[in-house]
Amino acid sequence: MVNEGEVSSELECKVQIAGDHGSKEVQDRSERGLAKRFWLGFAGLLSGFMSKLSQGWGKVCGVGSEDPRRVFHCLKVGLALTVVSLFYYMRPLYESIGSNAMWAVLTVVVVFEYTVGATLAKGLNRVAGTFLAGALAIGVHWVAAHCGETFEAAILRTSVFLLASAATFSRFIPIVKQRFDYGAMIFVLTFSLVSVSGYRVEELFELAHHRFSTVVLGTAICMLICIFIRPVWAGQDLHFLIVCNLEKISDSLDECVLKYFEDEKTLIDGDEERCKRILKYKSALNTKGTEDSLANFARWEPSHGQFRFQHPWNQYLKIGALTRNCAYCIEALNSCINSEIHAHERAKKHLSNVCIRLSSHSSAVLRELTVMIKTMKKSSTIEFSIGEMGSAVQEIQHAMKCLPIPPPTTQLLPLLVKSQTEITELVPTTQAANTPLMEVLNLVTITSLLVEISARIEDIFGAVNELANMTGFTVSIIDEKKKQQNKPVASDDQELQDKNEMKILQQA
């Protein structure tokens, strides 16, 4: 017979072995699950990082493709720093300048800007501020050294206080702030550093000489590279910015009026491209700061292309301001067109043709002005276009006099008396009278805005004509050929008379 103790011990061993094996399987499964989750998390993190990296690279490529001049500007800055660093790493050049070559590197980093005008403005301001501050600081040190030790510290501190305060106050003057703000800041910095230094006058003169020469060296390298290697002119950017703004408001005006008078459904279900063309005027509303800075930098630039040194850049600012005023009217027009109150169909049909005609003539004038500024050539048909726009204004004013306004109708509900405690009330249904009137008022507002836009376009024409007289716009070749074709042919007797007059003049 089998012992019961032995059987129970065997069963216990089998159960323990089975339990250990099951726990190992559970542990292995949990470890494989953790490893799988870790791998999936790492793979997700890696894929997210790669997707963000690709998106960032796409944005970087978009910035470069939008304006390739930015890429060349970065290369020019690298070239300027490489050239300046030669004075630090090459021993013969290093011995001539010394450790002050770092000031040339700092000058390149600070002075080199995107446009030629900005680079010239900062470079010349830095050179002038450094020279004036260094010369004054050396003179003050010389005077203080000859006044004795008792007055030396007082003279230096008083000079720092007076000159730093005066230079800082000059930065609040509009013309100084606009053109020489950076130079005034460099003057304060240089004078303060030199004045508080403890060098003697001889050592101070040598130090100032090295600092000034390195600043001039760095500025000269920046100017040469910025001007002669794919230059970016601030004047040209301002010129094309004004042209682009005029094109945008002409496109917006055309599309805005056509969309309103063509079909009511287009007000709600318009395509995206058309809406983008209508909203082009918005970019012209926020260019004042850019125009001011470009005009300020363009004054520093030398003659280039069709722009001479004393080009009337302020006239471009005047044209830009008038363009923004026109864009504000277009924004008001767009707000009225997108209003929830729809115009009365009969009145809208009555004014549709004259409004579309006025908007088309106004857009045509804007496009001709754009071509005039872009090519810097006068147009012989611009006055004819202005006349057509004026006749369209007269037509729309005449149509407004004959505008069919729905008569006001007020209907009174009967008196309702329900009981002795209730108050009798008189309820006029004014909705039938007010709603058509509001529809007509909305349409009248739109037409008045169109007339105002045409008046502001005439102001733009006057400013462009003034610019043409200042800069001497030439007559285009097409206009000259038209004049020659329209010129009357002289008869034989007239030609003979002209020849005789020329002979008499030669003999005299």
CA distances, 103 to each of 88, 194, 470 (Å): 10, 15, 43
Average the pLDDT over each of 20-29, 148-157, 238-247, 320-329 and give the range with the smallest value: 20-29
In the predicted structure, residue 131 carries a pLDDT above the cut 90: yes
Sign of CA dihedral 54, 56, 60, 63: positive
**Separation between Cα atoms, residue 403 and residue 168, nearest integer Å:** 63
For the chain, give the mean pLDDT: 79
Mean pLDDT confidence for 299-318: 91
More confident position, 443 or 161: 161
Q: Is 278 left (phi over 0), alpha (psi -120 to 50) or beta?
A: alpha
DSSP for 18-32, written as a single string: HHHHHHHHHHHHHHH
In b/e form, how buried is each residue of 317-351, taking b as 16+ CB within 10 angstroms?
A: bbbbebbbebbebbbebbebbeeeeebbeebbebb
Q: Which residues contact 247 (CB under 8 A, 6 or more apart)?
A: 366, 367, 370
Cα separations in angstroms, 246 against 96, 330, 370, 458: 55, 12, 6, 13
CA count, 13 A, side-chain hemisphere, 274:
13
According to DSSP, residue 406 is labeled: P
Dist CA 206 CA 224 (whole Å): 27
Query: Strand, coil or helix: what is 84?
Result: helix
253, 483, 245, 475: which is closest to 372 by C-alpha?
Answer: 475
Is the confidence at residue 412, as pLDDT, over 50? Answer: no
- CA pseudo-torsion sign 392, 398, 404, 407: positive
The pTM of the full predicted model, rounded to 2 decimals, is 0.77
CA proximity to 106, closest of 205, 217, 180: 217
On the question of pLDDT at 283 being above 70, the answer is yes
Cα–Cα distance list, 226 to 32, 69, 72, 119, 240 (Å): 63, 12, 10, 8, 20
d(C-alpha 464, C-alpha 462), whole Å: 6
Q: How many of the other CB atoms lie within 10 Å of CB of 492?
A: 7
pLDDT in tens, 345-388: 777 787 888 999 999 999 999 999 999 999 999 888 999 999 99
Average pLDDT over residues 381-404: 88
What DSSP string runs through 334-376? HHHHT-SSPPPHHHHHHHHHHHHHHHHHHHHHHHHHHHHHHHT
pLDDT at 300 over 60: yes
Share of the chain above pLDDT 90, in %: 41
pLDDT at residue 198, rounded to an integer: 61
Asked whether the predicted pLDDT for residue 225 surpasses 80, the reply is yes
Structure tokens at 308: 């001479």
Confirm if 420 and 324 have CB atoms less than 8 A apart.
no
Question: Using CA atoms, how far apart are residues 229 and 453, in angstroms rounded to an integer?
Answer: 43
**Burial track 247-272 (b if 16+ CB lie within 10 A, e otherwise):** bbbbbbbbbbbbbbbeeeeeeeeeee
**Cα angle 34-38-44, degrees, rounded to a multiple of 5:** 145
Residue range 189-207: average pLDDT?
76
> Is the CB of residue 253 less than 8 Å from the CB of residue 453?
yes
List pLDDT tens digits, range 51-60.
777 777 777 7
